[in-house]
Amino acid sequence: MRISIVTVGTKMPAWVDEGVQEYHRRMPRELKVDWKTLPLAARGKNTRPAQYREQEGEQILKTIPDGDRVIALDVRGKSLSTEQLAESLRQWQMSGDNYSLLIGGPDGLSDACLQRAERRWSLSALTLPHPLVRILLSEQLYRAWTITVNHPYHRE
């Protein structure tokens, strides 16, 4: 099984890249997590946020591998507890399908990306900065996996 995390926005601080790599290193071989980072749409004085979303959305949709099931990270999505995420991860692994998790740019995900997604997942009702989203998502995927294999990392 593979999870592709498609995200918009480059130039993350070193601590973000180091944190993501640390959790990536801890993941088992049978649960491959690929990060695909896309550049922001070119910003200009006369361009509106909706145009940025659409341009970035086109990039995202081109990046999703054929046949992947898609989950959009969206503040208006459904919140999951860590245990619910672990159960979802268990189901994903049993299905044999590959998944793409979409993280939009500063202006969010395009309508086309949200329509492509079979579900929307909210990490928090708070608006989180992109660097924290990457770290939080990495850690929670690792934590969910540890729950599925009864690893002592997660304490209830």
Tell me the C-alpha distance between 87 and 70, whole Å. Answer: 17
Q: Is 127 annotated as a binding residue?
A: yes
Give the sheet arrangement for strand 32-38, strand by strand. 32-38, 2-8, 99-103, 69-79, 119-122
pLDDT for the residue 56 = 97
pLDDT for the residue 103 = 97
pTM, 2 dp: 0.94
Q: Is 124 annotated as a binding residue?
A: yes
Tally Cβ neighbours within 10 Å of residue 110: 24
Q: What is the tens place of the pLDDT at every residue in 143-155?
A: 999 999 998 887 7
Nearest to 58 by CA among 6, 128, 129, 127: 6
Q: What is the tens place of the pLDDT at every residue in 124-134?
A: 999 899 999 99
Mean pLDDT, range 8-31, rounded to an integer = 94
Q: What is the tens place of the pLDDT at every residue in 60-93?
A: 999 999 999 999 999 999 999 999 999 999 999 9
Q: Is 104 annotated as a binding residue?
A: yes
Q: Which domains does the chain have, with CATH numbers?
A: 2-148 (3.40.1280.10)
pLDDT at 156 over 90: no
Q: Is 125 annotated as a binding residue?
A: yes
What sections of the chain are H helices per DSSP? 14-26, 49-63, 82-95, 111-116, 130-148
